[in-house]
Amino acid sequence: MQSLAGKTAFITGAGSGIGRQSAILMAKSGARIVVCERDEQAGQETVAAIVGEGGSASLVVADVSDDSQMRSAVDTACSRNGGLHVLFNNAGIFPDGDGSPVDTPLDIWEWVIDVNLKGVFLGCKYGIPAMLESGGGSIINTASFVAVMGAATSQIAYTASKGGVLAMTREIAVEYARQGIRANALCPGPVRTPLLEEFLSDPEVKARRLVHIPMGRLAEAEEIASAVLFLASDASAYVTGTTFLVDGGITASYVTPE
């Protein structure tokens, strides 16, 4: 297992799914974990799971779309741990009502962009200076396979937000490469998380998704967490600016129209 001994990792949306599993795995690899979560109870559950296995973790409660809350969250993380070395901007939403361009209400569009895109921007805005002071590190921003290809089911706000994350990550990677900071866009395929399970509760919708996955199944959050650990660790020391696809072969396949 890659080592993160002596490093501090700040993870947004760590109260469930990919964020929680990544926090647990990074803690097992020796990192001090800062769980950044809007849902205090969910965040505390992640902290408890890590501490219960002998790891180091603490919670900061923040809405990633709020400028002052994110500034305070990063400041608190650094004051508690003496620096910041891994920044995993993972928090995201996919609300009901996000559909085609003509059907998606403006408030849904703005909400998704605020959390999924602005939230990543704010994480980087305040995380990058802290990482520079700590001697550099790794930024992992959660985008999606839909950032590089169209989704089978219309979700215009989510897709646009993840495309923005992908483009922003590339620019950050180029700007800070010679200052010791790497940045990569994690692009998962569909993952079996509570968020997606709710969306795929309709058997017809689920079947439409699975037909596009060569492996024929959803990813497990633990599988995505393994990719996150690789990007966070020195094992990926020469990896930056990538579209890091972990999608079960979706983007490599061709499926005839339904």
Long-range contacts of 77-81 (CB under 8 A, 24+ apart): 77/8, 77/10, 77/34, 77/36, 77/130, 78/8, 78/130, 78/133, 80/34, 81/8, 81/32, 81/34
Domain with 31, as residue range(s), is: 8-244
pLDDT at 216: 83
How far apart, in Å, are the Cα atoms of 52 and each of 24, 27, 32, 101, 111? 11, 11, 14, 46, 35
Q: pTM of the entire structure?
A: 0.94
In a domain, 24, yes or no: yes
Q: Which residues are identified as catalytic? A: 158
Question: Residue 139's domain is classified under what CATH number?
Answer: 3.40.50.720
In a domain, 235, yes or no: yes
Neighbour-count burial of 190, counting CB atoms closer than 10 A to its CB (0-12 exposed, 13-18 middle, 19+ buried): buried
- Within-domain flag for 258: no
* 1: in domain: no
Give 193: exposed, middle or buried? Use CB within 10 Å, 0-12, 13-18, 19+.
buried
Biggest CA pair distance of the chain: 54
pLDDT of residue 150: 85
Residue 141 located in a structural domain: yes
DSSP class of 31: P
Residue 249 resides in a domain: no
Residue 224 lies in a domain: yes
Q: What span, in angstroms and rounded, lies between the C-alpha atoms of 123 and 113? A: 14
**Is position 186 within any domain?**
yes
The strand pair at 86-89 and 8-12 is best described as parallel
Count the domains in the chain.
Answer: 1
C-alpha 187: how far from chain center:
9
* pLDDT tens-digit profile, the chain (258 residues): 689 999 999 999 999 999 999 999 999 999 999 999 999 999 999 999 999 999 999 999 999 999 999 999 999 999 999 999 999 999 999 999 999 999 999 999 999 999 999 999 999 999 999 999 999 999 999 999 999 998 877 899 999 999 999 999 999 999 999 999 999 999 999 898 766 777 677 887 777 777 788 888 889 999 999 999 999 999 999 999 999 999 999 999 865 445
